[in-house]
Amino acid sequence: MDSFLDYEECIQDSPAFRLTLDKCQTDVAELQSQVEKVMKLCGKMVESGQAYNTANQHFLAGLAEFSTYHKRDSVIMNCMSQFIQGLQEMINFHTVLFDQTQRAINQQLSNLLTQFIPQLGETRKEFVRIGEDLETAAVKNAQVYRHKVTDAERASHLLLATRKCHQHFALDYCLQLNNFKAQQKLDILNSVFSYFHAQYTFFHQGFDLLRDLEPTMKSMAAQLAQLSTECTAKRKDLENTHLLVQQRDASGEPILSSCPDGGETIQGYLFKRSRRKNKTWKRCWFSIKDNQLVYTKSHKEEPVSLFDDLRLCAVKSLDSIDRRFSFELVSVKKCCALQADSEELKQAWISAVQGSIDMAYRERVESQQPQPKESPLPLQSPSDPQPGQPPQRPAALVVALQSPGNHRCCDCSEEEPRWASVNLGITMCIECSGIHRSLGVHLSKVRSLTLDSWDPEQLKLLCGLGNDVINGIYESRCAAEGRVKPSAGSPRPEKETWIKEKYVEKRFVKDASSPETQIGRENAGRQLYQAAFQGDLVTMASALAQGAEVNWSHAEEEGRTALIGSTFGGSLSACEFLLQNGANVNYRDQRGQGALHTAATWGHTGQVCLLLKKGANQYAVDERGQDPLAIAIETAHADIVTL
């Protein structure tokens, strides 16, 4: 629709004019369709925008309600309030934008559809009708005979009048079309310009608003950076605590904490026998607090005092019932039967209750003694560190660090290790201990040197082996392999790869025999058996590293294992080392004798105690029908008999 209709061509009503007129009418129809489409899309856009505003308004309401969670933090509340207020202003700006869009597009473009196009339609109908009348008048004028003068004049006058009327409507129709061409450009451009101006106003107001909020945003960014640093430090602290708790033995040991007077308190789950006729057992949470034994059945209930004054109670083991690990608290008024989950827990509870009773009596005696009028300096117990002296280390840690190389982590050389592997005889840092624990207890049994209890035999392994000895075995080919040992600052994945190559794959062990061949297994097994017989811990560790099976039986020695061989030699450390590395305590040779039989035969009392502690069957009989007790009686080993 770039050219206008020519009025001269309109008067002549030539085919060229008709062609131009048809094209113009087609353009008007297409423009009408496009305008209706744009108006419809604009309506949908405005409707979606209003729905967005409604959803955004609900979101701000939820955000404002959510911010009350930090109502005690004035800094966060102030920032959140300003941000919510700013976002509310943005919603208002959106509302104005959608309103202006509605007026800019729909209202202005609707003028084309409501004013010009209907008028054009009516004029076109009249133009078509007059054109048909002109065609009819021309036909009639042509059909009049010459001798009919009156009819010829009448037809000529009708044709002339109709032609003038047709020319009048044609000119009027062309004028309206030309006016429409000029007006539609103006209306469309004006509509688009108004819409763009509304967008400009919207973004300009948004820019001004955000510029006003820029100081608040910078302040919040600084606070976020500080909070991020604090959160990272806190998360690392929580991860270390989680790792520390995770790496403790999951053996059900109670949580003990020192009291001010050196006593112990204990808390945990116990089964409590009901005093009713049915004698049911219920699992409750027990704790000792303020010289009272209290319990609760559920976290929703308040603790109930079972015994108000432990000084009036006595605690003893309860062996007269069928349930295991039971003990009893007895007072003048009542008695109560309790059950722990293991023998260790039972003994811990009995000791803790008895200790609490003793402490209560000591407190009463001390309160009755006259106090000195003045005490210029605070009293110190012998166990308290003197001023200027470092705090005392746990006994297990002191003993473990005495062995050469044990003052550094065996795998990354970090100072002051606090964890150890019982079966390997090494010390390690907390991060490496977590990796060792992931290998499984069949490869490394990790325990804390400060939190867990240690038997003397286990500490002897740490002293007899140690980091220098084990590294000399497991890292002997490290240089040949071209590997560099990780340091304390190395990332955890690097340490994990190193530890798996070192202990699982045994890549750096020198002269490792192939466990896939029968000859390799026998050679390593003989080396382990001979070293166990001699009590040589270093050679035993080397044999295991080279692929020896801990339960390999020596066919030339009546099918004895290394554990049985260690009982011939009498080495308690060798026996403990094999048991820690998975030796079968109840394996018996061709004569039906196990390690316990041999230890009883040779009178090795320490080994007998250790084997019984590790679950050796004291009722197993050999080919002569004798159990270890009968053998001890026969060999006149009184210490073993009295066990």
Report the distance separating Cα 175 and Cα 6, nearest Å: 10
Cβ proximity of 38 and 109 under 8 Å = yes
Beta strands in 221-303, from DSSP E residues, in sequence order: 257-258, 264-265, 267-273, 281-289, 292-296
- Tell me what pLDDT residue 3 has: 65
Question: Which residue bears the tokens 């009408």?
Answer: 32
Report the distance separating Cα 536 and Cα 240, nearest Å: 38
Confidence of residue 397 (pLDDT cuts 50, 70, 90): confident
- Tell me what pLDDT residue 599 has: 93
- Tell me what pLDDT residue 522 has: 83
Using left for φ > 0, alpha for ψ between -120 and 50, and beta otherwise, residue 550 falls in: alpha
Statement: residue 394 has pLDDT above 70: no
Statement: residue 275 has pLDDT above 50: yes
Domain with CATH 1.25.40.20 in the chain: 535-641
- Quote the percentage of the chain above a pLDDT of 90: 33
Domain with CATH 1.20.1270.60 in the chain: 7-239
- Tell me what pLDDT residue 388 has: 43
Alpha-carbon distances, residue 588 vs 234, 592, 630 (angstroms)? 54, 5, 17
Interval 543-557: pLDDT, tens: 999 989 999 999 899
Confidence of residue 52 (pLDDT cuts 50, 70, 90): very high
- Tell me what pLDDT residue 367 has: 53
Pick 308 or 413 by higher pLDDT. 413
| Residue 594: strand pairing partners | 588
Question: Which residue bears the tokens 């979101």?
Answer: 59
Interval 404-432: pLDDT, tens: 789 999 999 999 899 999 999 999 998 89
Question: Which residue bears the tokens 């201990």?
Answer: 433
- Tell me what pLDDT residue 390 has: 46
- Tell me what pLDDT residue 372 has: 44
- Tell me what pLDDT residue 258 has: 39
Statement: residue 268 has pLDDT above 50: yes
Report the distance separating Cα 442 and Cα 459, nearest Å: 19
**φ, ψ at 345 (rounded to 5°):** -65, -40
Q: What is the mean pLDDT of the chain?
A: 82
- Tell me what pLDDT residue 383 has: 37
Secondary structure of 410-466 as H, E, C letters: CCCCCECCCEEECCCCEEECHHHHHHHHHHCCCCCCEEECCCCCCCHHHHHHHHHCH
Statement: residue 263 has pLDDT above 80: no
* 54-65: average pLDDT: 89
Confidence of residue 516 (pLDDT cuts 50, 70, 90): low
- Tell me what pLDDT residue 374 has: 39
Which residue from 542, 405, 541, 529 is spatially nearest to 463, judged by alpha carbons?
405
**DSSP label at residue 643:** -
Report the distance separating Cα 25 and Cα 17, nearest Å: 12
Pick 533 or 219 by higher pLDDT. 533
Q: Which of 23-27, 290-294, 379-383, 532-536 has the lowest mean pLDDT?
A: 379-383
Report the distance separating Cα 633 and Cα 170, nearest Å: 140
- Helices 562-569 + 572-580 axis angle, to 10: 160
Domain with CATH 1.10.220.150 in the chain: 395-504
Q: How far apart are the first and last CA of the chain?
A: 117
> Is CATH 3.30.300.30 what the domain over 7-239 is classified as, yes or no?
no
Domain with CATH 2.30.29.30 in the chain: 261-364
- Tell me what pLDDT residue 190 has: 85
Pick 597 or 453 by higher pLDDT. 597
One-letter amino acid for residue 150 of the chain = T
- Tell me what pLDDT residue 277 has: 74
Alpha-carbon distances, residue 49 vs 35, 55, 103, 126, 138 (angstroms)? 21, 10, 15, 44, 60
- Tell me what pLDDT residue 411 has: 94
Report the distance separating Cα 625 and Cα 246, nearest Å: 47
- Quote the percentage of the chain above a pLDDT of 70: 88
Pick 158 or 565 by higher pLDDT. 565
- Tell me what pLDDT residue 257 has: 44
Statement: residue 373 has pLDDT above 60: no
* 244-260: average pLDDT: 52
Report the distance separating Cα 121 and Cα 104, nearest Å: 26
Q: Which of 409-413, 515-519, 581-585, 619-623 has the lowest mean pLDDT?
A: 515-519
Using left for φ > 0, alpha for ψ between -120 and 50, and beta otherwise, residue 279 falls in: left
Collapse the DSSP code of 294 into the 3-class scheme (helix H, G, I; strand E, B; otherwise coil) and give the result. strand
- Tell me what pLDDT residue 439 has: 87
Which residue from 417, 423, 514, 409 is spatially nearest to 471, judged by alpha carbons?
409
> Is CATH 3.10.20.740 what the domain over 261-364 is classified as, yes or no?
no
CATH fit for domain 535-641, picks 3.40.1010.20, 1.25.40.20, 3.30.1370.60, 3.30.70.3280 = 1.25.40.20
Statement: residue 636 has pLDDT above 60: yes
For the chain, how many helices (H) and strands (E)?
Answer: 21, 12
Confidence of residue 512 (pLDDT cuts 50, 70, 90): low
Interval 14-25: pLDDT, tens: 677 777 777 887
CATH fit for domain 395-504, picks 1.10.3720.10, 3.90.870.10, 3.40.50.150, 1.10.220.150 = 1.10.220.150
- Helices 149-246 + 74-101 axis angle, to 10: 170
